[in-house]
Amino acid sequence: MIEIKGLTKTFGKTEALRGVTLVVPGEQVYGLIGPNGAGKTTLLNILATLLPADRGTVTINGLEVFAAPRKVRRVIGYMPDFFGVYHGLTAREYLEFFAAAYRLSRNQYRRLVGDLLELVNLQDKADSYVDNLSRGMKQRLALARCLVHDPQVLILDEPAAGLDPRARFEIKETVRRLKQLGKTVLISSHILPELAEICDQVGIMENGRLVAGGPVAEITAAGRDTRVITVEVDRPRPELLSYLARYPGVRRVDEVESHVRLVFAGDRERQGALLKDLIKNGYPVLQFTVIRSSLEDAFLAVTGGERQSPAATRAKEEDKKC
């Protein structure tokens, strides 16, 4: 189990973490969601004993991170978002090197390495050099490296970043198997739908704060009254952005490829009224699509008040001038 209370961390004038309090139950998968700069990596680095905190406490399996970092390292496995691999080694030798670093005997790690390669589905690549592996295979090998000392808690920072769909699926399946083995997993990711599939609970971070947290179903329910709508009109897009930023019930407006994407609080009747008002005010609508509620919708709904889109910011500034 991981227990965090009032965790604060600053870098100069930047507040990376602002009083984060979080509990990750044992033998569960907990997902951290948040944009770049939300504080996720800073939080995970502190849990991994790599960064001191300014204030607050952290305990992992009953051990205080700041008081007993060496003991904590024995019970955690940490996979950073960027990690190094030794290209002159085979996959088997790579894992044996780290097993020896944890002072496991040769007899122990010979059997263990085979089991780990099978767990991450790399048994057929045991004698392949690491530099010949694909990015997805290297990610899975790095995950296996986190497990050589059989930690109870895994801290994974963006383990599926930059991977193709097949490689992401394999990482996801491995995390599921780790939960079945009784591991506690704290995982950060931008791939929100996939987190919803594998996590028991999620926490949403924004600007150094944990703004929401709980079971996936409850967090998703927080966004049920809010819908993500994509709109395309036959008019200059800046005009549409400005109009939508002022429209009642619109919490966020963004440009996404050829469309405008907005977070809108309203039922079907209010959605219909929005469409009618667009047409009535001279915006020929080419496409108006309401996307079903998801974990991503909940994230946008919960963080909508914390971060304004550029369009909304410009609209507010124009209103102040008037």
The reported pLDDT for the residue numbered 132 is 92
The reported pLDDT for the residue numbered 161 is 79
Q: Domain spans of the chain?
A: 2-215, 226-321
d(CA 149, CA 299): 35
CATH class of 226-321: alpha beta
pLDDT digits (tens, 9 = 90+) for 272-310: 999 999 999 988 899 998 875 566 666 666 665 444 444
Q: Which CATH superfamily is domain 2-215 in?
A: P-loop containing nucleotide triphosphate hydrolases (3.40.50.300)
Secondary structure letter of residue 17 according to DSSP: E
Apex 162 CA angle, 160 and 164, nearest 5? 80
For the cut 90, the answer to whether the pLDDT of residue 58 exceeds it is yes
Residue with tokens 């999620």: 202
Confidence category of residue 168, pLDDT binned at 50, 70, 90: confident
**Listed range (102-111, 160-169, 221-230, 237-246) with the worst mean pLDDT:** 221-230
Averaged pLDDT score across all residues of the chain: 85
The more confidently predicted of residues 239 and 293 is 239
For the cut 90, the answer to whether the pLDDT of residue 223 exceeds it is no
DSSP H helices in 78-133: 91-101, 106-119
pLDDT digits (tens, 9 = 90+) for 249-267: 887 788 877 788 888 877 8
For the cut 50, the answer to whether the pLDDT of residue 75 exceeds it is yes
Sheet containing 14-24: which strands, arranged edge to edge? Answer: 14-24, 2-11, 55-60, 63-64
Half-sphere exposure of 117 toward its Cβ, with a 13 Å CA cutoff? 21
| Percent of the chain with pLDDT strictly greater than 90 | 52
**Listed range (188-192, 266-270, 272-276) with the worst mean pLDDT:** 188-192
Highest mean pLDDT among 4-13, 205-214, 238-247, 305-314: 4-13
Confidence category of residue 18, pLDDT binned at 50, 70, 90: very high
For the cut 50, the answer to whether the pLDDT of residue 81 exceeds it is yes
Do 235 and 284 touch, CB atoms closer than 8 A? yes
Do 136 and 167 touch, CB atoms closer than 8 A? yes
Mean pLDDT of 214-231: 74
**Listed range (55-69, 80-94, 182-196, 212-226) with the worst mean pLDDT:** 212-226
Say how many residues make up the chain. 322
pLDDT digits (tens, 9 = 90+) for 86-103: 878 999 999 999 999 988
For the cut 80, the answer to whether the pLDDT of residue 321 exceeds it is no
d(CA 56, CA 66): 10
For the cut 80, the answer to whether the pLDDT of residue 49 exceeds it is yes
